[in-house]
Amino acid sequence: MRVLSVIGNRLTGPLPEELGDLASLRQLHLTNNPGLSGPLPERLTALTGLQELLLNGTDLCANADAGFQAWLSGVQLAQVRACKAARGSGAYLTQAIQSSAFPVPLVAGDAALLRVFVTASRSTSEGLPPMRATFYLDGVETYVADIPGSGTPIPTDVEDAERALDKSANIEIPGSVIQPGLELVVEVDPANTLDPGLGVAPRIPETGRASVRVEAVPALDLTVVPFVWAAGSDLSIVDIAEGMAEDPQGHEMLWHTRTLLPVRDLDVKAHEPILTSTTNVVTLYLETALAWTLEGRRGRYMGIMPAYVIGGQSGIAAIGGFYSFSVADPFVISHEIGHNLSLRHAPCGGAGGPDPAFPQPDGTVGNRGYDFRGSGALVSPRAADIMSYCGPPHWISGYGFTKALNYRLRTETDANASAVASASTPVPAGPPTRTLLLWGGADAQGEPFLEPAFVLDAPPSVPPSDGEYELTGRAETGDELFSLTFDMQETVDGDGESAFVIALPAPAEWVGRLASITLSGPAGSTTLDRATDRPMAILRDPESGRLLGILRGPSSGDPVRTAASAGLAAAGAAGSELEVLVSRGIPAAPPR
């Protein structure tokens, strides 16, 4: 057994020790079973491959035993309370959001707010005293921050202190201090001016140093693809894409992505505008996938178009995918990138396929966030999670931030590249070769569809040979020329559509013989043959191979004129003529 999920099942009592015998277990989800209680059994440490341990909404807890804590620190996503929660004073560092019960890791190099919660054993008018925070990296002192006192009376409860900034001692810590291996000690009232009878803890933690989980993540490699509608003449989306590339750290379209997702640096590139005949979001998603595939499958691609052209806020992505489509809206952009970083929907606003392990059943973030803009402000725990359909305001839950961070750490293994192969994603492609472009998908009812096929020079891209869909190419004689099985990634934010793009190496001996292509799946099949008459033109830069247009129907007949009427130059990057490929279904083999 690899996954054991019994969320909200009214379970009671302690956790049985026998769970430690499930050697193959990778995910243990027990969220929202308030009757579960007691310390976690020691035998759980035998689960050396456990990746997720979610215990929100239970009274289960983890002992402070060093061996158990060492095992727990190796679990990628652990939402587990300590059995002996610290009483009285406490402290934490926060970037987007933080929780005393379920600490949220920090992103290395980003500034963080240190909040120190000092409490007294009785009510007092004594103000918050001065404090000194000392930071260590790998045991070496690296930074000291002195926090002045204030006239705010010392609270008697940590939860009360967390509710308002003026009830805690706060100071911004530079990003240069926030690095892996970070430890922290806070001295409270170093001059010993407070009445000892107030019971204020003089040191946080009481002994030793508090360790802080900090993770270094690579820059998020994002190519923004502006789609220009062939029936219009508005090129404003091109300016937006170029502005995002010129100032990724400051552009408003990327604020939610920079702030609410585990992203420090953004490596944003603006793609040349792509002329398109469609404003359908699912089709634009497929066309974005086409650009990503034909151009080498490197980094992440996001197609964008103005919301007024699409007809409202809309976007689409696949969980863990490398491409997406979004209207030009900061919230939608970050929402779709969140899906690409493995996040499912938070359960609010009718969002389809909500994450069953999401801690808050109403889709709120559940803890206090911090907004660094202006003089800084706390964000309410009642804010809607960015992966929900509720809000504004939008923020990110600690659960979502941690899950997305762990996904990046697991899949982006090269510190100098942000799109690295995973089990379901092909490695960046090799040099272009003669390929057969096969693309299409399945609609909301699961019925398969195929776009016109093309023969072109592109990096080969063939999915793992296993799945419930099959593509078969045959000659006029019925001879099978190729056959492959594969799976399609289901999208979210649509109606459950799926999509694929394959660039299949095309041997010269069968390209000219190809007479039919059939896509079959659980809900049926569809075929392209020589009688298919769905004209389409693909426009590319002949030097770079970059995709510049996908025109369907009548607009494909004179692509140069169509490009000019939309306000786009019909030439490649070096002024060369466009490469124009035309197909009505089954392609003719272009000359070499």
Transcribe 528-560 into DSSP letters. Answer: EETT----EEEEE-TTT--EEEEEEGGGGSSHH
Give CA–CA dist 44/61, Å, rounded.
12
Residue 88 tokens read as: 């009285």
Dump pLDDT digits (tens) for 129-174. 999 999 999 999 999 999 999 999 999 999 999 999 999 999 999 9
The list of the chain residues with pLDDT below 70 reads 85-87, 413-430, 566, 569-576, 589-592
Give CA–CA dist 395/378, Å, rounded.
11
Residue 520 tokens read as: 């079959």
Q: At a CB cut-off of 8 Å and minimum separation 6, what does 348 contact?
A: 362, 363, 364, 384, 385, 388, 389, 390
Give CA–CA dist 204/184, Å, rounded.
8
Helices (H), 343-457: 398-411
Distance from the Cα of residue 26 to its chain's centroid: 21
Residue 181 tokens read as: 């291996």
Q: What is the pLDDT of residue 557?
A: 77
Q: What is the pLDDT of residue 311?
A: 83
Residue 27's SS3 state is strand
User: What structural domains and CATH numbers belong to the chain?
Assistant: 3-82 (3.80.10.10), 90-215 (2.60.40.1930), 433-583 (no CATH)
Residue 237 tokens read as: 């989306």
Give CA–CA dist 436/28, Å, rounded.
43
Q: Residue 213 in contact with residue 106, Cβ under 8 Å?
A: yes
Residue 481 tokens read as: 């020329």
Q: At a CB cut-off of 8 Å and minimum separation 6, what does 491 contact?
A: 282, 285, 316, 317, 318, 497, 498, 499
Q: Tell me the Ramachandran region of residue 194: left when phi exceeds 0, alpha when psi lies from -120 to 50, beta otherwise.
A: beta
Q: What is the pLDDT of residue 509?
A: 85
| HEC sequence for 2-13 | CEEECCCCCCEE
Q: Which residues pair with 480 in a beta bridge?
A: 474
Residue 159 tokens read as: 């939860």
Rg (CA), the chain: 28
Residue 234 tokens read as: 């508005």
Dump pLDDT digits (tens) for 70-126. 898 888 888 888 887 556 789 999 999 999 889 999 999 999 999 999 999 999 999
Q: At a CB cut-off of 8 Å and minimum separation 6, what does 330 contact?
A: 252, 253, 254, 255, 256, 257
Give CA–CA dist 362/384, Å, rounded.
9
Residue 429's SS3 state is coil
Q: What is the pLDDT of residue 576?
A: 55
Give CA–CA dist 173/110, Å, rounded.
9
Q: At a CB cut-off of 8 Å and minimum separation 6, what does 71 contact?
A: 44, 45, 48
Give CA–CA dist 247/224, Å, rounded.
13
**CA nearest 308: which of 329, 339, 337, 283?**
329
